[in-house]
Structure 1
Amino acid sequence: MQIISISSLKGGVGKTSVSLGLASAAREQGIPTLVVDMDPHADATTGLGVKRDENADDIGTLLDRPKRVELADHVVASGWPDPLSSASDGSGGSASSGGTKVLDVVRGSSRTALYERPTTRQRELRRLSLLLDSVTKYALVLVDCPPALNGVTRMAWAASTDVLLVAEPSLFSVAGTERTLRALDLFRQEYAQGVRSTGVVANRVRPASTEHQFRLGEMERMYGDRLLPVAIPEQSNWQQIQGAAWPVHAWPGETAAQSAALFDELLAALHRPLQGRRSQRRH
């Protein structure tokens, strides 16, 4: 099972948008996927169309007792519609009929903020790992982290096989991501040796912007092979797609189709080692 943490040091770079785009690509390709919403704002939960379920605890509550609960008992089906599938039951979720696209969610909540305190205690760092150890149904787990380098993010890194950092081509984001990479490398050596690979994706890119092109070149020099070959352009209707709680692959229009294709490429890049590979960036 591949566990990818999607992280950023600063807010506003589209980290959750990347998480949702990858979830949409995985769903479209029929990859059984679980999204764990570790951000206290729970934006991924909202964007996936998940409502409150009295029978399923949120991730903040589950982290309180990771050895005493089965995570599988608390996942809920994504609420994304699947209008192109004749097998859709209207829930967009994980029924067992043939061809159904499995995309489940562990709901986020503000309670996760209780774990934002910095810590290096193994008991704290392994809370998410213990929850995920009992899950075998999924080929891919996407962990949407809070936009900060705190205890919750470190807990996610400790549970992951791969870490994806999201950055936009701006001065502060580029510098902050470089600092995050250094912190991640140190943390990985000591506490997250299960992390096989780390990478950076450029998001909200404006191809016509001279500043963005300059910053992309700076990112290539600073991050080297860890900068993924797919850059995600800024999309004017992304807020509309997320507000409607739809997958980008099902949204009509050429712009959405182009974004969906890029998320397919990004997912394909993440299924291969992120380090030690160089290819032409596309956006």
Structure 2
Amino acid sequence: MQVVSISSLKGGVGKTSVTTGLASAALAAGIPTLVVDLDPHADASTALGVRPGDQLDIGRMLKAPRRARLADNVVPSGWVERAGEASSRGAAAPVLDVAIGSAYTGIYDRPDLGRRDLRRLSTVLAGAGHYELVLVDCPPSLNGLTRMAWSASDKVALVAEPGLFSVAGTERTMRAIQLFRQEFAPGLSPAGIVANRVRSGSAEHSFRLAEMQSMFGELLLSPHIPEQANWQQIQGAAHSVHHWPGDSAKNAAALFDSLLANLMGTGRTGELVSAGTVRNRSQR
């Protein structure tokens, strides 16, 4: 089982979109996957089409992690029904479960969590052994919830737009991961950086992508994910990108297939390739 945190210290870069895109690729590939919606806004739960019943949300599981029965409280994604054709042909039924997000998790989104609190998610995920992949959608901060996710993870995938503030935030996050590894999680490594919402005709985006390549080297994952006009429509309909009609969605699905393969198959050293300062365009 691989546990991967999807993180960004800057909001609005499409972190949840990347999480759900990777979940869609995992479902299409038949990889038994759990999505942990750790963001108090619970946008991933909405996009994954969950229909909660009496199950505990992830915040309440974190409150009593030793008593939480993960298998009894996860909810199948609504996407699974649309992926059921494979099982009707005799293959194993697809698995994409969700640990539902809620505002209750916000009580842990503090900067002062101790080591015991940081282990809460690890304790909950001790019951997740039948999944091959766990994706943790983190809030856009370096407070307690993100650090709790990092403590439970094997890898951290960072999401960034090719813009000045996002690239600078990514550099700070890389350094935060290194410090966190040294103090709390020596086995943690960066899975890489996902460049999201890339506009192919933008000179600024081209410049920032080149800057990211020089700063982060092989940690900048490929392929990059382009800006997609209908992404809000796909998420609002609670569909996976692999089951949305049209060439645009088909192309995006193929990109997430490749990104998932790179994310799961590549080990990273966790060191910045360059410690160069992010440049303002006026410095060029």
Using structure 1 for the length normalisation, give the TM-score: 0.91
The farther-off stretch of 115-124 and 159-168 is 115-124
Partner of 1:37: 37
C-alpha distance in 1, partners of 2:249/2:236? 14
- Structure 1 residues 147-162: aligned runs within 5 Å: 147-162=140-155
C-alpha distance in 2, partners of 1:116/1:5? 16
1:75 aligns with 2:74: yes
CA contact (8 A) 1:58 1:109 kept: yes
Partner of 2:279: none
Q: Identity of paired residues, percent?
A: 61
CA contact (8 A) 1:116 1:152 kept: yes
Counterpart code for 1:129 = S
Partner of 2:139: 146
Query: SS of the residue aligned with 1:271?
Result: helix
Could you list the structure 1 runs, at least 4 aligned residues long, displaced by more than 3 angstroms after superposition.
81-89
Q: Deviations over 1:127-167 (max 9, x none)?
A: 00000012211000000000111110000000000100000
**What is the deviation of 1:274?**
4.2
Counterpart code for 1:262 = L
Q: Assess, with a 3 A threshold, how the Cα gap between structure 1 residues 108 and 186 changes in structure 2: closer, same or farther.
A: same
Q: Deviations over 1:163-189 (max 9, x none)?
A: 000000011000011001101110011
C-alpha distance in 2, partners of 1:87/1:29? 11
Counterpart code for 1:46 = T
CA contact (8 A) 2:2 2:133 kept: yes
**What is the deviation of 1:81?**
5.4
1:256 aligns with 2:255: no
1:269 aligns with 2:262: yes
Query: SS of the residue aligned with 1:21?
Result: helix
Q: Assess, with a 3 A threshold, how the Cα gap between structure 1 residues 236 and 262 changes in structure 2: closer, same or farther.
A: same
1:127 aligns with 2:126: no
CA contact (8 A) 2:191 2:263 kept: no
CA contact (8 A) 2:28 2:83 kept: no
RMSD of equivalent CA atoms: 1.7
C-alpha distance in 2, partners of 1:66/1:57? 11
Counterpart code for 1:76 = V
CA contact (8 A) 1:41 1:109 kept: yes
1:86 aligns with 2:79: no
C-alpha distance in 1, partners of 2:248/2:108? 38
Partner of 1:60: 59
Query: SS of the residue aligned with 2:252?
Result: helix
Query: SS of the residue aligned with 2:30?
Result: coil
| Partner of residue 103 from structure 2, selected from 94, 110, 128 | 110
**What is the deviation of 1:272?**
1.8
Partner of 2:158: 165
CA contact (8 A) 1:81 1:246 kept: no
Partner of 2:24: 24
C-alpha distance in 1, partners of 2:266/2:196? 20
Partner of 2:13: 13
Higher helix share: 2
Q: Assess, with a 3 A threshold, how the Cα gap between structure 1 residues 85 and 59 changes in structure 2: closer, same or farther.
A: closer
- Structure 2 portions without partners, runs of 5+: 271-284
**What is the deviation of 1:16?**
0.2
Partner of 1:174: 167
**What is the deviation of 1:222?**
1.5
C-alpha distance in 2, partners of 1:10/1:85? 36
Q: Assess, with a 3 A threshold, how the Cα gap between structure 1 residues 86 and 264 changes in structure 2: closer, same or farther.
A: closer
Partner of 1:241: 234
C-alpha distance in 2, partners of 1:35/1:84? 17
C-alpha distance in 2, partners of 1:83/1:143? 23
C-alpha distance in 1, partners of 2:68/2:121? 12
Partner of 2:224: 231
CA contact (8 A) 1:206 1:234 kept: yes
Query: SS of the residue aligned with 1:63?
Result: helix
Q: Assess, with a 3 A threshold, how the Cα gap between structure 1 residues 208 and 273 changes in structure 2: closer, same or farther.
A: same
